[in-house]
Structure 1
């Protein structure tokens, strides 16, 4: 794989996890599409180590070690075939420059700290590439560790974007310390998320949309858990409000995420489940969503799409 001139790599330094996707262009049904070759995930949890808006030494080392492992996989790649971006937690950190110096040295490639608006644009580019429906207007909700990106688009056309300071990592740290959950903490987290998301509600209503898409790991996790435990009505595969409420009851009964007995729930997702659930409940309420469809394509597909189509790096 190393040095293969047909391959491209996208590195996403998210607030919960660092992820890398290696892909290539293939012709399928007379369309050039992105084929995923390899993915890597490192649960760095930057938001956990964000103290007084600075990344602490433990999380710095954790992030650097993860990027060192990514860097080994990327040896032999040309710089024009790799793009690495950092999102909310690094945007927020006062010592971001310290982190980035060590991060770039270990990864072996430049890292762009992108704005919430560019993050939303890249997320939608990834979705539009793999869901090329020109007539359907989509509301995309991307719940990250430190922020949630809201996007409305039709086909490849981006209509509206907004980045909201609500995330499963920051909310988990604030409302569900050590994985403890009770009705008060869940209600407070949901209400706080509603307040933040409501700032974009008027624009979302003005533009309108036909289907809701969840492009983050949080959405995919929730859809998987709801389906595996038959919490949705009528065996639906996506995310429904009824299913979210039933999952909330199970979480409250457990009182602690480590005591949850749910099929389809991976151990590394336990810590972000309560906050991710609270933010998703708020999104359903604020935007009047009845059902959401999870989508794997998102930021990393958007990065690969830009690389494969000669997209310039934004600094």
Structure 2
């Protein structure tokens, strides 16, 4: 008999929820609903070090809706985790307490390693990785996780403080703009390079795997801008062409002409450049986009309580 659960991902750019049915006999999940609320906690934390009172109220309203949704869909078990922005917020304990008090939902603040493990869990259930060496790139608002696998076994993961919202705030602090992303990438390579060198013989990584909303958006842009399909993978050449076409387009026009949400339009180029940098550094020519992420991993973790 199917067991209904929900998973909530409190990220730096949004708070996402997924309701799914778990089928224990097959260890498969059936997604019932997905939700997303544009609560950009990273803007507060990466600029001020705390989650502002206004953002806490937005988050409380979001969690109230999610709590009501759990009741409407008869969800008995909900697992909620918070990542980069909450990890770094000086008032994270207050945030967790206020959410619990207003919605009844407990929040776990997880580290980058656990975040990488949960996303890897989702990917291994979605893709056949036997006898393949892969590099998983999860692009978030506050951090990017780069995970190496051999088959379904995770061999190394590292979280880097180089998420898309953090990149925007760093540029703003330095009075720089999108055209100066190469400066941030140069700094990022000092940490990224050793991680790739230690875990990858360049000619043995079969392909990369990309997760996160920005990767899914880039897959759609392949179809929209390049008139190529399918949207489920990108070559490095295609990614580079998308970046070249997006850079001259103003954020307003990305919203109006490319039908992007405002909180996607301003981070899509930083996300693309970040993925391009990692692929170039690892000499990887192709990235698969399976359209799963942390929420899916959370649900899979609740099969036989894999934690």
Matches within 5 A, 1:2-151: 6-26=3-23, 31-50=26-45, 51-75=47-71, 77-78=75-76, 81-151=77-147
Shift of 1:302: 1.1
Is 1:253–2:248 an aligned residue pair?
Answer: yes
Q: C-alpha distance in 1, partners of 2:154/2:194?
A: 19
TM-score, normalized by length of structure 1? Answer: 0.86
Instruction: Quote the offset at 1:139 in angstroms.
Output: 1.0
Rounded Cα–Cα distance in structure 2 between residues aligned with 1:264 and 1:200 = 36
Please state how far the C-alpha of 1:120 moved relative to its aligned partner. Answer: 0.3
> How many Å separate the matches in 1 of 2:126 and 2:246?
34
RMSD: 2.5
Task: Say if 2:3 and 2:23, in contact at 8 Å, map to a contact too.
Answer: no
Q: 1:277 to 1:259 in 2, by over 3 A?
A: same
Runs of at least 5 residues in structure 2 that lack an aligned partner in the other structure: none
Segment of structure 1 superposing worse, 112-121 or 68-77: 68-77
Residues 157-172 of structure 1 mapped to structure 2, 5 A cutoff:
157-172=153-168
Flag the 1:181–1:227 CA change in 2: closer, same or farther, 3 A: farther
Aligned length, in residue pairs: 299
Structure-2 separation of matches of 1:271 and 1:62: 21
Instruction: Please report how far the alpha carbon of residue 187 of structure 1 lies from its aligned counterpart in structure 2 after TM superposition.
Output: 2.2
TM-score (norm 2): 0.88
Q: CA deviation at 1:132?
A: 3.8
- The equivalent of 2:192 in structure 1 is 197
Describe the shift of the 1:15–1:194 C-alpha distance in structure 2 as closer, same or farther (beyond 3 A): same
